[in-house]
A and B are shown apart, each in its own frame.
Chain A
Amino acid sequence: MDIFVTILEQGLIYGILALGVYITYKILDFPDLTVDGSFPLGAAVTATMITNGVNPYLTIPVSFLAGVAAGVCTGLIHVKCKVRDLLSGIIMMTALWTINLRLAGTANVPIFGDDNIFDNDLVNKVFSGSLASYKALIIVLVIAAVSKIVLDLYLKTKSGLLLRAVGDNANLVTSLAKDQGNVKILGLAIANGLVALAGCVFCQEQRVFEISSGTGAIVIGLASVIIGTSLFKNIRFFNATAAVLIGSVIYKACVAAALKFFEPQDMKLITAVLFLIILVIGMDRKKKVKKNA
């Protein structure tokens, strides 16, 4: 039982990151590597605030804004300096390494002794008794659900529709007399805000900021998005954002399965195999649809 709690917890935290990756990769069609830097950026901001005694709940909006700033920088580099999308992400990712180290002071900042969003007087009072072991999961679930719902609502607004249009048909946006560059910057800002938010929650769940936590974050994000969207493509009940969250949980379940049944050094290969199998299942569905059409 406990293992499912862990999988859900970690899956949903990375799910928030995957929501961000979904915006850039699926909606904007922008391979954004900033993620490897903005994820630990959220964690660095959080750890610094918490060690300085700031209320842990404030870390959530502040981390989000820090991520937004990072996203805006990537956007400006791409749109205003006309650097290619992949490169502008790499430039920001590299810059953020130093910024994160400077922010946090060192590469590893433990926050064991301090209050955090999972462990403070209020939370401990609300979740007592048998609920106590699920408190982290419930809090993560609330944060992930709120992020998903707000993102869904946003995507239905005028600005959200423009964002979706930029990825699908950039000319349409121009023909509507809107600047597609600004829309891209906005998309990157929201995406990296979500990624940094995930970093903030991750840091408090782990009770430590570690500079290396961002390495490979983009891979996990992409895998979650692809698993989610390809598995649930034709299930109406789940919209894309829900699919992405579930995809992230499935990814973490794959890791857990690999951890459980195989030698540690084989883990990455096993995860890759499971990933491949899931992709193939998703592909099969797509073909059937085409045949029926």
Chain B
Amino acid sequence: MKKKVLAVVLGTAMTVSLMACGSKDVKVAETSEEKIYTVGISQFAEHGSLDNCREGFIEGLKEAGLEEGKNLKVEVKNAAADQGTAKQISDVFVSDKVDLICGIATPSAQAAYNSAMNTDIPVIYTAVTDPKAAKLADAEGMPAGEVTGTSDQLPIKEQLEMIREVLPDAKKIGILYTTSEVNSVSAIETYEKLAEDYGFTIVKKGVSQTADISLATDEILGGVDCLTNLTDNTVVNSLATILDKANEKKIPVFGSEIEQVKLGCVAAQGLDYIELGKQTGKMAAEVLKGEKKASEMKYETISKPGLYINTEAAKNLGITLDEEFVNSAVESFDSI
């Protein structure tokens, strides 16, 4: 009996404390004569870049005249990185008859497309690196159905140009990646295709989990002139380890987004996920207002990447940066 009481008390306490934590107020749209749109956002996991995508998306809708609390109702669900849950989320959106589903990251985008396939609910995705490989778009980049969005493909050409600019004598670029991340594998293919044009060869090293990073870094640093990062989750989460080891050997590391440069990468031609989200939000607004059909819109990539530089990291490595180059940066940091 005691046990049972304890369990019930514990259970209630857990639930109550959760409720007390104060979930965000669900903003119910005020009644007005205008049509109120409902948008279901299905986000695959809790992750800085994906969170930025989501915020940007809502921001983009707002800029296009669809504002939460006025003529827009947004429901955000997070699958906690579980594919089955992602499908469940989009199924619920379909049965709730939302006006549009936004899938953030590849598995959620695929699940949303799958759930909405036989309905007239359009799907807009973002942070899908390779919509063609994910079969959300055909070989020409046209949608596979009522599904379109934005890709967070890395600006690899610009990145290679930038590395050439900073390191005129470098020959070998090392890349660490996780073998199970499709996005990384496809980015490396592009790197290998383009590297020759800039006189580089790519040295790649795959890992399968965080625990392998340390060993893999030691190994790859032995044979390269610099490292460049992808948006590979496992690798980026262990960036501090990689930077430590690289700095010891005076090997520069280039990043792929602003956060990595803040942490101590020399420079990056990077994506701004908030901008990407905004771009996606504007596409969604066009579809919602009925101006365009999703199936008629080609998927988009970010219009122009931004250059981010960390001058302190460059100084520590003994690299002198061209002043003009530094001035062309969107943002430069002078501390690590």
A residues engaging B (CB < 8 A)? 1-3, 6-7, 10, 14, 97-98, 101, 106-108, 110-113, 132, 202, 205-208, 210-213, 215-216, 252, 255-256, 259-260, 262-270, 273, 276-277, 279-280, 283-284
Q: Is A260 touching B92 in the complex (CB atoms < 8 A)?
A: yes
Residue with the highest number of chain A CB atoms closer than 10 Å, among B79, B88, B185: B88
How many chain B residues sit at the interface, stated as a range, is: 35 or more
Residue in chain B with minimal CB distance to A214:
B83
Chain B 79-96 against A: per-residue CB contact (8 Å), 1 yes, 0 no? Answer: 111111101110110110
In the bound assembly, the distance between CA atoms of A2 and B116 in angstroms comes to 13
Closest Cβ–Cβ distance, residue B189 to chain A (whole Å): 11
- A1 in contact with B87 given A216-B82, A276-B7 (CB within 8 Å): no
Q: Is B4 touching A10 in the complex (CB atoms < 8 A)?
A: no
- A208 in contact with B78 given A113-B135, A255-B88 (CB within 8 Å): no
- A106 in contact with B77 given A10-B88, A270-B15, A276-B11 (CB within 8 Å): no
Q: Is A270 touching B80 in the complex (CB atoms < 8 A)?
A: no
In the bound assembly, the distance between CA atoms of A265 and B87 in angstroms comes to 17
Indicate if B46 sits at the interface (CB-CB under 8 A): yes
Q: From residue 43 to 69 of chain B, which have CB atoms closer than 8 A to chain A? A: 43, 46
Residue in chain A with minimal CB distance to B92:
A3
Question: Hey, which chain B residues are within 8 Å of A106, CB to CB?
Answer: 133, 182, 185
- A10 in contact with B87 given A106-B182, A263-B23 (CB within 8 Å): yes
Indicate if B179 sits at the interface (CB-CB under 8 A): yes
Given contacts A3-B92, A10-B87, A264-B80, 6 further A-B contacts (CB under 8 A): A6-B91, A112-B114, A212-B83, A255-B88, A269-B18, A273-B15
Question: Hey, which chain B residues are within 8 Å of A205, CB to CB?
Answer: 87
B residues engaging A (CB < 8 A)? 3-4, 7-8, 10-11, 14-15, 18, 21, 23-24, 43, 46, 76-85, 87-89, 91-92, 94-95, 106-107, 110-111, 113-114, 117-118, 133-136, 144, 179-182, 185, 208
Contact of B114 (CB < 8 Å), options: A98, A206, A283: A206
Residue in chain B with minimal CB distance to A208:
B110
Closest Cβ–Cβ distance, residue B29 to chain A (whole Å): 19
Q: Is A263 touching B24 in the complex (CB atoms < 8 A)?
A: yes
Residue in chain A with minimal CB distance to B10:
A276
Closest Cβ–Cβ distance, residue A210 to chain B (whole Å): 5
Question: Hey, which chain B residues are within 8 Å of A260, CB to CB?
Answer: 92
Contact of B113 (CB < 8 Å), options: A112, A268, A276: A112
Q: Is B107 touching A210 in the complex (CB atoms < 8 A)?
A: yes
Q: Is B76 touching A6 in the complex (CB atoms < 8 A)?
A: no
In the bound assembly, the distance between CA atoms of A211 and B107 in angstroms comes to 11
In the bound assembly, the distance between CA atoms of A111 and B117 in angstroms comes to 13
In the bound assembly, the distance between CA atoms of A107 and B181 in angstroms comes to 6
The majority secondary structure among interface residues of chain A is: helix
Q: Is A107 touching B180 in the complex (CB atoms < 8 A)?
A: yes
Question: Hey, which chain A residues are within 8 Å of B11, CB to CB?
Answer: 273, 276-277, 280
Q: Is B87 touching A206 in the complex (CB atoms < 8 A)?
A: yes
In the bound assembly, the distance between CA atoms of A264 and B87 in angstroms comes to 14
Question: Hey, which chain A residues are within 8 Å of B87, CB to CB?
Answer: 10, 205-206
Give me 12 A-to-B residue pairs in the complex whose CB atoms sit less than 8 angstroms apart, sorted by A's number: A110-B136, A112-B144, A113-B135, A208-B110, A255-B85, A259-B88, A259-B89, A265-B80, A266-B18, A267-B80, A273-B11, A279-B7
Q: Is B83 touching A206 in the complex (CB atoms < 8 A)?
A: yes
Question: Hey, which chain A residues are within 8 Å of B208, CB to CB?
Answer: 97-98
Question: Hey, which chain A residues are within 8 Å of B111, CB to CB?
Answer: 206, 208
In the bound assembly, the distance between CA atoms of A110 and B103 in angstroms comes to 16
Closest Cβ–Cβ distance, residue B227 to chain A (whole Å): 22
- A202 in contact with B92 given A262-B23, A265-B78 (CB within 8 Å): no
Contact of B135 (CB < 8 Å), options: A3, A110, A264: A110
Closest Cβ–Cβ distance, residue B209 to chain A (whole Å): 9
Contact of A6 (CB < 8 Å), options: B46, B88, B181: B88
- A264 in contact with B107 given A97-B208, A255-B85 (CB within 8 Å): no
- A213 in contact with B10 given A107-B181, A207-B114 (CB within 8 Å): no
In the bound assembly, the distance between CA atoms of A63 and B106 in angstroms comes to 25
In the bound assembly, the distance between CA atoms of A111 and B88 in angstroms comes to 18
Q: Is B95 touching A283 in the complex (CB atoms < 8 A)?
A: no
Q: Is A283 touching B3 in the complex (CB atoms < 8 A)?
A: yes
In the bound assembly, the distance between CA atoms of A257 and B23 in angstroms comes to 16
In the bound assembly, the distance between CA atoms of A2 and B91 in angstroms comes to 8
